[in-house]
Each structure stands twice: as C-alpha cells, then as structure tokens.
Amino acid sequence: MSEIAEKFGIKQALKDLDLTEENNGTSTGKDFFSSGDVIESYSPVDGALIGKVKATSRDDYEKVITTAEVGFKEWRTWPAPQRGEVVRQFNDELRRLKEPLGKLVSYEMGKSYQEGLGEVQEMIDICDFAVGLSRQLHGLTMHSERPGHRMYEQYHPLGVVGIISAFNFPVAVWSWNTALAWVCGDACIWKGSEKTPLTSVACQNIAARVFAENDVPAGISSLITGDYNVGEMMTHDKRVPLISATGSIRMGKIVAQAVAARLGKSLLELGGNNAIIVTPDADIKNTVIGAVFGAVGTCGQRCTSTRRLIIHESIYDKVKDAIVKAYKQLRIGNPLDENNHVGPLIDKDAVKNYENALDKVVKEGGNILVEGGVLEGEGYQSSCYVKPAIAEAENHFEIVQHETFAPVLYIMKYSGDVSNAIELQNGVVQGLSSAIMTNNLREAERFLSVEGSDCGIANVNIGTSGAEIGGAFGGEKETGGGRESGSDAWKIYMRRQTNTINYTTELPLAQGIKFDL
C-alpha cells in the first residue's frame, strides 16, 4: 500500500468494501470465481498497485448468462414494489458506504474526492428515483373502435440486460441502468471498465449482500470483467436482448452493428464535443465558473466536458482574459487532497492523446493561450498529471471536430446574430451537451427552439457538464441517441404490449371488415 493510500484511508476503504488483494472478477451472487487472466489495477494518482482481478473466461461467461436467465424467470414475477424495496435497501447500503466507495472511485479513476462522492450520490439519487418508479410502471388505456372492447398498453420485463460502462464514471452509469432495470424486473450483467475493475467488484459486493438477505434469485446482478473480448460475448449473444454501452463513438459503432445484426436493442451513450456559447449579454463571472469546471473537471474526462467556447467577437478579449486568469489559479495534484482542483488522466495512453491534440491544433494553425505539458517530480510519479490547456482554434479544424478525452479547451469567435454561434455549435458530428450564457430571453429561447441546439442536453446559464437524475440523459447524432436515468428512460428496459379485450358475445372486426361463416 502506497504512502498516499495509507494517508488518505484507502486501505480502510478497501476493507469496508470487502475487497481483498485477490478479487473475484466474475460474480452472479453465487461464490464462483473467474478463471481468466489476471488484471492489475494501478492508481493514476501515484502509480501504485491497488489490487488484482481475474478476467472472465468464456466458460465463466456461460455460467453467468445461464444463471441470469434462470434468475430472471423468477425475478420478473415479483411485484414491482417488492423489487423496489430491494433497491431501497441497496440504496441504504450506498448511503452507509458512500465515503469508502467515493474514495475508491477517486483513487482508482483519478477524479477528485468530491467528484467521487458526487458520483456515489448519483447512485443514491437514481435508486431513490427507481424506488418511486416501482409503483408507476404504467401504460395507457384507449377507447376501442369496436363496441364492447377495451384496449390498453402494458409493459413487461425485457430479460437479461447487458451493461458496458467506461472508466470515467466507473459506478454511476452502471447504477443508472441497473436501478431502473431491476425495478422493471430485468436481470443485469455488467462489464465494467478493465481500467477500474475494483470499483466494479465493490459495487457487486454490495448488491450481492443485499440481494442474498432478500432471497433475490442468483444472477439478477452479475459482473464480468476484462477487455473488449469479454464485452463481445454479450454484444453477440441473442440471450441478451438489450445492450447499454457507454464509451467512444468508435466503440459504439462496433457494438451497434453487432447488436443490430441479431436484431437486438442497443442504448448508446457515446462521445461529446460540447460547446458553450457566450453572447454579449452573458454574465462573465458565471461564464468563467461554468467553462472552467466544464473543461477541467475530472481532468476533462467527462462525456459532457466543455471542449469548445464560442464567444461573440465584441466580448472575446474580455472573456478570453478572464478564462486565462482563472486557469492560472488551478491546483493540480493528488485528487484525494481537497485543496486540489485537477487530478490525473486515467493512464499514459490518455496522456499521449492529450499531447497529440496539442501538437495537432498548432499544426492546423491554432494558437496556444495556456501551455499544456506533463507534470513530473514529487507528487506526479504516475506520469499521468497534465496541465489543462487552452488553444485558440477554428471549428473546422480536424482536431476540434474530434473529442479529445483530456483537459484541452478550444476557444473561437463568432460574429453577428446568435444563429451564427448555434451553427458553429451544431457543426460537429457529436450531439450530447450544449449551453448558452446569456441574459437575453430571445437568445435563450432561440437556442432551445427547433432551430437551436441539436444536442440531447441544452442548458441556459449553466455549463455543459453534469446532469440531474430526474431528466433523461443522452445525446443525438454520433452520440448514439440513447437515454438513461430519469424521465421515461425506464421504457427501454421493458417490452411494450398492446392488449384488446372483447367482453361481448360477438366478434366484430376492426375497420368494419365483415367475415361471416
């Protein structure tokens, strides 16, 4: 255990979460273990080995899917409020273990401790939402055109739901899916990121304990671990009717094609290239706060991170100077130390992508306003700490058109009407999150209108980063079109059925068709 881990209580957190030096990477709620290769989890905070997890083999996967299928057949018969009660108890455990789980998220992923706690709070919030939802899985009743008939819609559990999550939100995204899917009556198989395997095992430990106490059938919460090969076991499996995948656009296209080839359903949450429009009527102070947190929070590794700042030419220099000044105040270092604003990138591959992006923007004609670079020396032993950078750029630059999962912010001018800024904002293939900073009602409404932002999320006077549980989360275009979390996102985890009941002694046909025997 490293000095930092000892100082900030990671050893105790691992103990609280029932994690050992050798951890199980495959679990269905029964005590069988993975037989695959060993995955070592190193912290980007200090480069230290946290623990080891065994990957899921093909034989392991078959045990998981078979157990999940059997468990689902019983679980779907439980009344939804009863399933909600199990989720409520799971939520109680999350509240009890919020601090150790938040610390592990911070230490294994590299986000700040406050963001780690915030991620666990998202888990708590979605469980609260799901418990209420368990009494509201309603359909519609419709009037039939035939006398003596009643029509209605109802929703049934879908089956086994496969969840593929990314390293940047190693626990929250899983809970967005499972909390809803569980109350809907589904079984869930989760492939967490191989970059953050211990947080996945920790969550499965919590769920397995609660489920065992309630005699929930084995397999309703299952975990598989490994690289993309393990994920492919699910994406090609006809026994998994829905795949919910969070990750890059490249990964999403592969998943979508594999699932579509077997006529399954996919829920995709992919890349973002999110912009904030800053109009002449913007509150500059709030703009700076929203833009800086959006760009550097989680070291720029959020799908909702702010990548582009589109500023009206009349206030361009004023906003630019304010943003540059704010960057000089950023403290980069150990994310468990709450005095720091920015932690490390996830690994050295992410560092290379960051460096390549800065090289490319210069080659394309951009101007570096805040220098980037890799930090070295005491406190930066993992070689994953980088300086958040700002570059003046044009929207059409190839590097600007792509999502760089790192703290690189591109700023650019627009002139004339706000419609010109909206055109720039929409001028990328991604469509996740967007924002406008303005106190002009007409500009705000234009931004939210059918001619405005083409993103799944559109905010006024707040940044692009972060979302509340109550609203559906997701984006359009190459972001994938999926919706998770609040609103009516629960419907993706169920199959819809239209029912017609004839309570007469006659059999009239629809559309007035006559068929006499």
Would you name the residues annotated as active-site residues? 269, 303
Cβ distance 94 to 120 under 8 Å? Answer: yes
What is the helix (H) or strand (E) element at residue 120, kind and residue range? helix 113-133
In sequence order, which residues have a C-beta less than 8 Å from that of residue 297 and are 6 or more positions away? 115, 305, 465
In sequence order, which residues have a C-beta less than 8 Å from that of residue 124 and are 6 or more positions away? 91, 94, 95, 98
| Beta strand extents in 108-239 (DSSP E only) | 141-143, 149-157, 160-164, 187-191, 221-224
Nearest alpha carbon to residue 235 among 184, 158, 164: 164
Nearest alpha carbon to residue 380 among 333, 341, 326, 347: 333
Alpha helices in 390-496 (DSSP H): 398-401, 418-426, 441-448
DSSP state of 170: T
Cβ distance 72 to 157 under 8 Å? Answer: yes
Cβ distance 414 to 280 under 8 Å? Answer: no
